[in-house]
Amino acid sequence: MNKTVSIHSLSRRDTHISILIIGMMFFIFGFVSWANAILIPYFKIACELTNFKAYLVTFAFYISYFIMSVPASFILSSIGFKKGMMLGFWIMSLGAFIFIPAAMMRTYEIFLLGLFTLGTGLAILQTAANPYITLLGPKERAAQRISIMGICNKGAGILAPLVFAAVILKATDSELFKNLAFMSGSEKEAALDELISRVILPYLFVGTILFLLGLGIRFSPLPEIDTDGEVSTDENSKHSKNSIFQFPHLILGTLAIFLHVGTQVIAIDTVIGYAGSMNIQLLDAKIFPSFTLATTIIGYLLGILSIPKWISQVTALRICTLLGLIFTMGILFASGPVKLAGLQADWSIWFVVLLGLANSLIWAGIWPLAIDGLGKFTKLGASILIMGLSGNAILPLFYGYFADLYDLRTAYVVLVPCYLYLIFYAFKGHQIRYWTKKI
């Protein structure tokens, strides 16, 4: 294992190189993760799924975070950040390669196994990268650094649905999708087999790139950072703590992460289906996730420019959580046709797009608040926060259930309690340092 170094001993050059490498990793995270936005409606058609079953794509991908995040912290403690990151990339590579037999057999369950494997590798990488970038510089500027990583992540997210759509969809597919219901059994099976086989080459390419990236990270100049030698304290106590569960702001922050990422993936992964309910075809609707991610990047840029010069990380978090609730009300209650960006749609879909802006600085606000003062528990605390990413797995299923039960618009009501809790954490929850009031 490489020799560990103190964060404070890193030169300015070493710090910038490390940020650049981690930024590249966040780009990869985004590209692989947000490709799900196009896979959900694609699998829904090719594998003939209900809304609920289609959102098992996000469940299979993100439930791995819940299962793997704590084991990931022990992996990283055992073999170090760099070998751990290499392992994460290689596991992701395996997940991409699983798509090949899944497509050959057009078996949805094998696709879900591939997605779970991709998520497992990503859980290891996220457990390493998020605390790494949070600690790599002044605490009060952590939100700035996380926002830069967010731009890398969401920039890739803008590209991913468009790139995958360009590769796996054809100009004639609109007619194909309309005619599927009228095809005979054998004709329909042949058409669906051809449709699903289009994912083979893209995921063969992705798997190869991920394998090579693992090698690249292993031999990169990224330093091993020592987080284990610090004493875990908080600003309200001079006494050391000996259990991760003695940090209420961390545990409450994990629930906040759970709800935040769930709202984020709902905003991005459901918008194509919601556009479809307005008779916008998939070939046109594919642009909506990119719109949502573009508003997220606008939020990141505003955060980079304004934090901490004009507003604090906490203030930005509070503004964004309140905006999330306001925009959700817009989705549920705003109505009327409008033509924007050449697309005729209901006003409410643009409030889904604006959720990208509301969600932009929530992660960046929660993360430094939640791991503040953890000291030697930083890696374990980070892994617990990464468990919160399982919200991406659970909340879309609630959305899919209510979409089948009621309709795609009413299902967005699941966002309301999420943003109410996030408002609580932003204003009060992150300040709680003891489970019972000290006398």
What's the pLDDT score for residue 69? 76
Contact 330, 351 (CB under 8 A): yes
> What is the predicted pLDDT for the residue at 42?
80
Give the model's pLDDT for residue 304: 83
pLDDT score recorded for residue 238: 43
Q: What is the pLDDT along the chain (439 residues), one digit of tens a residue?
A: 455 555 555 667 777 787 888 888 888 878 887 777 778 778 888 888 887 888 888 788 888 888 887 788 788 778 877 788 889 999 999 999 999 999 888 888 998 999 899 989 988 887 777 777 766 767 667 767 777 887 887 778 778 877 877 888 777 777 777 777 777 778 888 888 888 888 888 889 989 999 998 888 888 777 666 555 544 444 444 456 677 788 898 999 999 999 999 999 899 888 888 988 888 887 788 888 888 988 988 998 888 888 778 888 889 999 999 999 999 999 999 888 888 777 788 899 999 999 999 998 898 889 888 888 777 777 778 778 888 888 888 898 899 899 988 999 999 999 999 999 999 999 998 888 887 765 4
pLDDT at position 231 is: 46
Residue 7's pLDDT is 54
Task: Note the pLDDT of residue 1.
Answer: 43
Q: Which domains are seen in the chain, by residue range?
A: 4-431 (1.20.1250.20)
The pLDDT value given to residue 227: 55
The answer to whether the predicted template modeling score (pTM) of the entire model surpasses 0.75 is: no
